[in-house]
Amino acid sequence: MNTREIIRQYRLKQWTELIRECRSSGQTVVAWCAEKNINPKSYYY
């Protein structure tokens, strides 16, 4: 496995955890993103 693949897998894992956190928060995506300083466009990407 090369470095790019490792980085890609790491970032995918991070976003997976963030999406799970958002969904379990009970907040809207927009409210959750505002609280976490995440652009909603990044979340949906």
* 1, pLDDT greater than 80: no
User: Is the distance from CB of 29 to CB of 43 less than 8 angstroms?
Assistant: yes
State which residues form the domain around 26: 3-44
What pLDDT is attached to residue 38? 94
What pLDDT is attached to residue 16? 95
- pTM here is 0.78
Summarize pLDDT for 3-39 with one digit per residue, the tens.
999 999 999 999 999 999 999 999 999 999 999 999 9
* 42, pLDDT greater than 80: yes
The two three-digit tokens of residue 24, written as one number: 């379990």
What pLDDT is attached to residue 14? 95
| Residue matched to tokens 């949906």 | 44
**Chain-centre distance for alpha carbon 10:** 12
The total domain count for the chain is 1
